[in-house]
A and B are shown apart, each in its own frame.
Chain A
């Protein structure tokens, strides 16, 4: 199985963004998807760094793709996304709008925010030129198995969400701005202070979600540690690792070792939990009762 790095979901300062992708050049991953997924207002802060990051990663032998936005509404966003194809890099669509901008027959990838729930949809995307599809994180293992099979029949590589806070929802409303009593248009980049999202607790004080501007993530970090054998058996071709502000290089290395069989089951997740206070894991979407369920033991909240 290969490793794909997801586009960062968070708003990082340009220098940190740049350093993150420089560091990735040495990480044991096959593929990196980058660019702005969540909020079009963030892009101007680091877009000038993108060509250099692409070049660095390509020279390091990685396949590089550019993501579309997850929710394209404004004129500016339509224009921005229509121009993505001009960058000369394969596009990963995360809003179907981005597909409408690609020349017919062009090769593209499909991100986890496109609803690929069944074989017909997968085959339709393949017929339009999709070469790789990362499945929506909420799919159970049975669906993953059926889709990986359908993918192998029509030459589409199927990928699943492997590690990181799970994208659960996207909205027209910015929750960070709302929290600070601002409107989205005058958000003053309230999400900037939370490089891994902002913890949202329930009324009994349980950590539950993570706020990231217009996006809502899980509090828990998805972790495929206990699922890797099943995913391999299902024919999944790659795991997707979602960037976090600290210790991401270690995550990449741990997954590589786990895939190579040099790490026993349970060690990867134990080390992921040890990365920081308040890191909780989940793998429930694949086989559990609920998405938040976890196969291993959970540290106290």
Chain B
């Protein structure tokens, strides 16, 4: 390539300045080969494919505003007396962390705005990651070759949760301090090493003088650093795998149909960054988030009702609230199950969704690459599992906000807690079966539409007086779209004995796999999609209209 550029200069005609800069850079960075593969890269257009972008852009916004906040924030727990401009805190003793957050809010012009953008963007970041993850889940976009990227995304979500937690704990206010206290209590519940963990994290007994500074470096350096690395890897893989697309005419497993990166996607995606930033700015201008001035500085003997973590930690709050207070005393030791069990269920809730792709690929034995996004109804068992998981998560969120549910719906907090305790086990099961039935119903409707056409809404009176609705045949595009999904056969273990009557060894895991596979693809779990023969038979039968 460098020879080509030297040739063009040798020809005597001077290339435009931009080209010359590009040539210079190419000679050192090889940008042309990169651009050749990527400049006109195709991205399919669908709004749900932009949820990940919302997450990406809010992450960038968080980094930009976060850097600004570090310029003013003092990550220190030294006690000071406040004498800034917020009257209701005059003379109150507080940590420097809290005082500097008040200064950011009331003395730095625009500081409050940046703080609120940072916090709103964080709430939206986690929410966007969540819905993005659900989009990927329900469309089966985690299947081969994207399992690793699913895990990267999942890790980003989990790290985002902890970055959020360490972040909102920094101002050392009464609400977040209560959260940190909870964290200390949770650490203490860990058998054998709990007290050591707590002493080491807090530099002694709670609250000590260290945790803000330590959370600060975790919040601004360690976790965002790892997240940035994962994010880059995530994006590289998105580029490398090329985006999935929904089924449709001309869209196959071997191509990707959409708009090129330059210019359409660049304008749309780049513009979308500004749109996201703009929306979050307006929200931050008009809606308070985490008003630490109203919460007051942390004191371990003070507390407020409505003490909840930010939403993404809410399901763990629910877990801890609904757990019965089990404690086992053995040989002079205490096993604090009432806290330790929720602490262990917490990662299991997350792991349930994280490992799902691997379970599905094991059950289905599917080794093919998948680039066509499933419609959720066409994978009823997966959709049902995802819906059940969301229901489970939501039940725990309700548990985490039980006091607000109680006051706003005039209910007893004790009844809500009992409801959540039962719902924790029951609701996911109900939602699982209900969702699967709904999916099957939708599959039947699709089949109907393919075979009998679309209800046109036109009522026709037949000569003998009967009224019928005219059905309009679908176009070939629509027929193709509705029938192009795969339908697998359940995995069979095979006969227990071989042809010679000798007992064949069938591993327990194989049997389990066969059972699960039947659950996935058995008769109860999918409606056979219409065949071309069925279609021809029906259309030739009453082809008269």
Tell whether A and B belong to one assembly.
Answer: no
Residues on A lying within 8 angstroms of B by beta carbon are: none
Residues on B lying within 8 angstroms of A by beta carbon are: none
